[in-house]
Amino acid sequence: MKQENSEDDDLFGNLSDEILCRIVSFLPSETALETSLISKRWRGLWNSASVQQSTAAGIDTAVTEFVARFDRLNPLSHPRRLQLHYGESKVLLATLAANNRLRVDFSAKEKDFPRYFDWKLQLDNHQKAAQSLCCSTTFCVKTLYLESVGFVTNEVVSSMASKFHFLQSLKITKCSGLRSLQIESSPKLVSLTILDCPHLQFLHLKTSKLRSFQYRGKLPRIWLENHFNLADAMFDFRQGPSTENLMSSSSSSDFDPALLTIKNAQVVTLCRWTFETLIWPSLSPMEETFQFYKLQELWWIDYSEEHYNTDSLIDFLKLCPALERLFVTVDLQSYMVPRMSTTIMSKKSTRKTQLGQLKVVKLEGFTKREDEIRLIENIKEIVTVVKSLIIIASSSEEEESLDDKLFTPKHKPHECRL
């Protein structure tokens, strides 16, 4: 008799990698990707990398050719990863992922002291796009991640990015030497993310159709050449203003163009110090009429002080009549405006706005229970339907819900969604 669990029964296991790749090529891309969970062997089919040698000047050609050779209808016929060695001990890793995403990561190179550079990304190529229409088998890059781009590589990366004519989302992270950044894009670019570029002092955006802008780092000087309405805005400036902003003593008027972009936003991340010094001075003269009338979710990043003051947050909430979800995070390391500053809230809001839609309040990072209680009580004063409000406090293991409901968060603040 034939033994049970014999290796002969493993029909797929006896097939060659070439045949397995051919079988997987007939599956939808998402289903094909799930086969990597079967075993180490199947995972290896996806994780194989093409290793090449090049020069810094050849990065543009190497990456674009790597993307062009990929066939979506036969995804295992060509590696999804490119390991490109260039210069002296420098490595680039390019990875193709589902949903037309390309990640280009330079972080594996030597960790030498960054050289400062100014970077211009010109993505306004809609006139050329007609000459390179995507067909059913082409990998059209729609989301591009650029990580740790440096002085030596910024120009070739700009050239490479300009060839992705259907780009909708751009993410730039950990570019240590980046000092100024100019982005000029076609209306196709609707999402821009810039994270953890510690020396960025100037940001120039010429983008007419942005719907999502997420920024984390020190506040640079921002020049918005075109007006656009954001639906999702993350202004995580908890590290404070950049050195350039500190030296120039930037005023609230410098931030007014950015303020207009979030007027119609549905999701916003904002720091308390930014509101106090850059937003409220502009809004206070018209506080009886101005409102963020579409804002549904707010992540408020607060700073720690001996006597916690809720006034700034409450004043902002009075501008948000449609708010449904509020997340408040106290960060002990967050920038705090010096007390001597004359720009801090000089006029308290007299608006009587009530929050009729607020359902969830989540508090994080509070070190004193009394600070949480004070804030909760102040919030309740401007909520119309208190019984339906669910409150989660960080200093207590208990969840406070006035109608005994359990809360399972379906929406998380920006930092959790990145």
Q: Are 63 and 54 in contact (CB under 8 A)?
A: no
- Mean pLDDT of all residues belonging to the chain: 81
Other beta carbons within 10 angstroms of residue 21's beta carbon come to 17
Instruction: Name the residue with higher pLDDT: 404 or 21.
Output: 21
Lowest mean pLDDT among 13-17, 264-268, 383-387: 13-17
d(C-alpha 242, C-alpha 238), whole Å: 11
pLDDT tens string 355-382: 899 999 999 999 999 999 999 999 999 9
pLDDT tens string 235-288: 999 999 987 666 555 667 788 888 889 999 999 999 999 999 999 888 877 667
d(C-alpha 129, C-alpha 117), whole Å: 29
- pTM for the predicted model, two decimal places: 0.83
Per the DSSP assignment, residues forming a β-bridge with 191 are: 169, 212
d(C-alpha 131, C-alpha 140), whole Å: 13
Q: Are 206 and 227 in contact (CB under 8 A)?
A: no
**SS3 breakdown of the chain: % helix, strand, coil, rounded to 5?**
25, 25, 45
- Which residues, other chains included, contact 320 with Cβ-Cβ below 8 Å and sequence gap of 6+? 291, 292, 295, 298, 353, 355
pLDDT tens string 116-145: 999 999 987 554 544 454 555 567 899 999
